[in-house]
């Protein structure tokens, strides 16, 4: 039995939303903004579902829209940056070394990066994309991905030195 | 080899675990439907995209110029019931541009001309005369949202510009096209022009240039020469000022729970608390020429072109303005302080109000001629 386009879209949303939300959360730093971002990307996917489904590019399209929407929203200043709560205090024995403290630090640090810097880090080190793939998703040159990655890592070292063990060295191009 | 970054990878993966999975199916479908409705349904309310128009929107308010909103002292906005006013002298003509989606690859552009035989609206004696005209058809690739988002007629009414998403599968940017408003071949005048959101393509008041943003790593903004397509990058603040001046002496923004109106150059800010109904993004669609009123869009949660007005805020009090004709769903501010208002209760009615918010004229959009078309822009002379 062949599923209807509607059922196929429903299945796509059910199966892929969790993964999309994870990336969106890293891009936005906020549950609700992440939901809004994925929702908007999925809506555009739905508008072109037949074409995308036939070509087998639905997920790639949705991810690309998501990254572009994020860049566009930030560029237009329509999405207020949700700053995290207080940073975990440093130098208090076990607290600082705990995974939860590191997570909070990383979240805070990501939100202090520019949208492009955060996007390249998520693409390169969360989605594990090559520089060329990241460039394609963002619609920029490989050189831009290289420079933005280097700047992002350098900035992380400054704004979140407590994360030094997370970014011990610059990424090596693939 | 990326081994040295494995700790960052695991850190990001751990952080991503914090997000709670939710079922987005219904929300995505609603947003998709809303995008579709915006393209196809008759204007349920007359919509607003201020058209930069020499002698109209770029001129300061009569009798006081662009008053500083920080220092303006204006009367309260207790709206009176609808009653004709003989003293009003609003603009005497209006061009209202409507669009309709014809299939999946065409947009039809229409215009409704409004004029007054006696020159100015005279309630009870000089009723507006309207006539409609079909302008050009815009063709575009199937399922391309960019053209609908960006179709904008030049202030002189001769040219129309739009963006077609071309090879950007995200639909966030594309080629800038310009054509004669009444037909003929469209000419490409730019590439990678942003098309999402509101006001991404803004004509200069003299109809020779367009202010656009580019989809690139640097967030480039600038101005395109309409005849040659030459793009000149601008410093962002200068670009913001020039783009704002194309529509009036003031501009507005919403962020962090506040609505802020400034002069076009960003000075003299006046800010009032403002939260959208759902806490989502909204934009300021227009500011009156004295900086007193700001028309705020409905929120949506997606970066589609905003057309409908949710509130008109009086920046002197921070309170929504109450109009005598009902709940405003579209508002155009004219340089002389008068307004043109569409209401949500009767989407085919258009009212002209004087600066004291009294009705001086009205007309009804002909359903047979312009039914199932959405009003996307208006210009006044």
- Contact status, residue B329 vs residue B344, Cβ threshold 8 Å: yes
Q: Give the Cβ contact number of residue A86 at 10 Å.
A: 8
pLDDT for the residue numbered B94: 92
E strands, B143-249, in order: 152-153, 159-164, 173-180, 187-194, 202-203, 209-213, 221-225, 231-234
Spell out the domains of chain B, with CATH numbers in brackets: 46-77+87-380 (2.120.10)
Q: Distance, in angstroms, between A80 CA and closest chain B CA?
A: 6
Q: Which residues contact B73 (CB under 8 A, 6 or more apart)?
A: none
Helix (H, G, I), strand (E, B) or coil at B21: coil
Query: Which pLDDT tens digit goes with each residue over B207-219?
Result: 999 999 988 777 7
In terms of Cβ atoms closer than 10 Å to its own Cβ (0-12, 13-18, 19+), residue A147 is: middle
Q: Do A102 and B21 touch (CB under 8 A)?
A: no
Q: Do B2 and A25 touch (CB under 8 A)?
A: no
Would you state the torsion angle of the CA atoms of residues B189, B191, B197, B201, taken in this order, to the nearest 10 degrees?
Answer: -20
B201 interaction partners in chain A (CB closer than 8 Å): none
Residue A122, CB half-sphere, CA atoms under 13 Å: how many? 31
What sections of chain A are H helices per DSSP? 5-28, 31-47, 49-55, 58-76, 94-97, 99-112, 115-121, 131-138, 142-159
Q: Which residues contact B232 (CB under 8 A, 6 or more apart)?
A: B222, B223, B224, B225
Q: Do A166 and B28 touch (CB under 8 A)?
A: no
Q: What is the pLDDT along chain A (174 residues), one digit of tens a residue?
A: 456 778 888 889 999 999 999 999 999 888 888 898 899 899 888 888 877 777 777 888 888 888 888 765 544 443 333 333 333 333 333 444 566 777 888 888 898 888 888 999 999 999 888 888 888 887 778 888 888 888 888 888 888 877 766 655 444 445
pLDDT for the residue numbered B159: 97
A22 interaction partners in chain B (CB closer than 8 Å): 16-17, 19
Q: Which residue out of A16, A44, A121, A128 would a mutagenesis test of the B interface target, given it has the greatest number of B Cβ atoms within 10 Å?
A: A44
pTM of the model: 0.56
For residue B36, what are its two tokens? 């579709």
pLDDT for the residue numbered B138: 94
Q: Which residues of chain B have pLDDT under 70?
A: 1-4, 35-91, 169-170, 277-281, 299-304
Residue B103, CB half-sphere, CA atoms under 13 Å: how many? 8
C-alpha distances in angstroms, B202 versus B194, B240, B248? 12, 11, 12
Residue whose token pair is 């204007």 = B43
- Contact status, residue B379 vs residue B153, Cβ threshold 8 Å: yes
Residue B28, H or E segment: helix B25-40
Q: Distance, in angstroms, between B301 CA and closest chain A CA?
A: 6
Q: Do A61 and B169 touch (CB under 8 A)?
A: yes
For residue A43, what are its two tokens? 């809506």
Q: Do A102 and B171 touch (CB under 8 A)?
A: no
| Arithmetic mean of pLDDT over chain B | 79
Query: Which pLDDT tens digit goes with each residue over B41-54?
Result: 322 323 333 333 33
B37 touches chain A (CB under 8 A): no
- Contact status, residue B287 vs residue B261, Cβ threshold 8 Å: yes
B20 interaction partners in chain A (CB closer than 8 Å): 31
Residue B295, CB half-sphere, CA atoms under 13 Å: how many? 26
Spell out the domains of chain A, with CATH numbers in brackets: 1-79 (no CATH), 91-174 (1.10.10.10)
Q: Which residues pair with B255 in a beta bridge?
A: B258
User: In angstroms, rounded to a whole number, what is the distance separating the alpha carbons of residues B264 and B286?
Assistant: 12
ipTM for this prediction: 0.82
In chain A, the residue whose alpha carbon lies closest to the alpha carbon of B200 is A76
Q: Do A69 and B303 touch (CB under 8 A)?
A: yes
Q: Which residue out of A13, A33, A39, A133 would a mutagenesis test of the B interface target, given it has the greatest number of B Cβ atoms within 10 Å?
A: A39
């Amino acid at each position: 039995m062949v599923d209807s386009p509607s059922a196929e879209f429903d299945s796509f949303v059910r199966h892929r939303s969790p993964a999309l939300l994870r990336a969106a959360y890293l891009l936005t730093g906020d549950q609700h903004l992440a939901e809004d971002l994925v929702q908007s990307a999925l809506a555009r996917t739905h508008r072109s579902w037949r074409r995308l489904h036939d070509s087998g590019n639905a997920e790639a399209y949705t991810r690309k829209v998501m990254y572009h929407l994020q860049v566009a929203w930030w560029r237009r200043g329509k999405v207020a940056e949700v700053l995290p709560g207080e940073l975990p205090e440093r130098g208090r024995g076990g607290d600082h070394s705990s995974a939860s403290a590191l997570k909070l630090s990383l979240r805070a640090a990501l939100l202090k990066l520019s949208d492009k810097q955060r996007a390249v880090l998520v693409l390169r080190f969360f989605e594990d994309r090559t520089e060329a793939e990241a460039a394609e998703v963002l619609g920029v040159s490989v050189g831009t991905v290289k420079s933005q990655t280097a700047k992002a890592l350098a900035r992380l070292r400054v704004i979140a030195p407590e994360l030094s063990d997370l970014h011990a060295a610059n990424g090596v191009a693939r | 080899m990326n081994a040295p970054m494995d700790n960052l990878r695991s850190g990001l993966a751990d952080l991503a675990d914090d997000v709670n999975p939710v079922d987005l199916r219904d929300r995505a479908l609603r947003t998709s439907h809303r995008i579709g409705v915006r393209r196809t349904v008759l204007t349920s309310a007359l919509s607003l995209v201020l058209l930069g128009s020499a002698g109209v929107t770029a001129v300061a308010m009569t009798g006081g110029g662009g008053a500083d909103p920080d220092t303006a002292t204006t009367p309260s906005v207790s709206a009176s019931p609808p009653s004709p006013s003989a003293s009003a002298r609003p603009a005497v003509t209006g061009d209202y541009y409507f669009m309709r989606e014809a299939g999946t690859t065409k947009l039809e552009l229409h215009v409704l001309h409004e004029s007054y035989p006696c020159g100015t609206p005279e309630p009870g004696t000089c009723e507006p005369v309207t006539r409609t005209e079909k302008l050009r058809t815009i063709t575009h690739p199937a399922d391309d949202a960019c053209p609908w988002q960006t179709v904008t007629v030049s202030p002189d009414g001769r040219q129309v510009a739009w963006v077609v998403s071309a090879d950007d599968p995200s639909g966030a940017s594309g080629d800038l096209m310009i054509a004669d408003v009444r037909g003929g071949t469209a000419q490409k005048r730019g590439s990678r022009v942003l098309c999402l959101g509101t006001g991404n393509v803004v004509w200069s008041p003299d109809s020779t240039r367009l202010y656009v943003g580019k989809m690139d790593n640097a967030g480039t903004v600038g101005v395109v020469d309409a005849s040659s397509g030459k793009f000149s990058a601008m410093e962002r603040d200068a670009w913001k000022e020039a783009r704002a001046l194309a529509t009036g002496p003031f501009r507005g923004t919403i962020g962090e729970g506040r609505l802020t109106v400034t002069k076009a150059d960003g000075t003299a800010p006046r800010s009032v608390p403002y939260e959208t109904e759902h806490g989502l993004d909204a934009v300021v669609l227009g500011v009156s020429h004295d900086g007193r009123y700001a028309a705020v869009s409905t929120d949506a949660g997606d970066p589609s072109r905003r057309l409908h007005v949710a509130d008109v805020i009086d920046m002197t009090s921070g309170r929504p303005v109450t109009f005598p004709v009902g709940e405003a769903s579209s508002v155009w501010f004219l340089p002389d302080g008068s307004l043109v208002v569409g209401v949500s209760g009767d989407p085919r009615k258009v009212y002209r109000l004087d600066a004291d918010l009294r009705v001086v004229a009205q007309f009804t959009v002909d359903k047979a001629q312009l039914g199932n078309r959405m009003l996307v822009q208006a210009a006044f002379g």
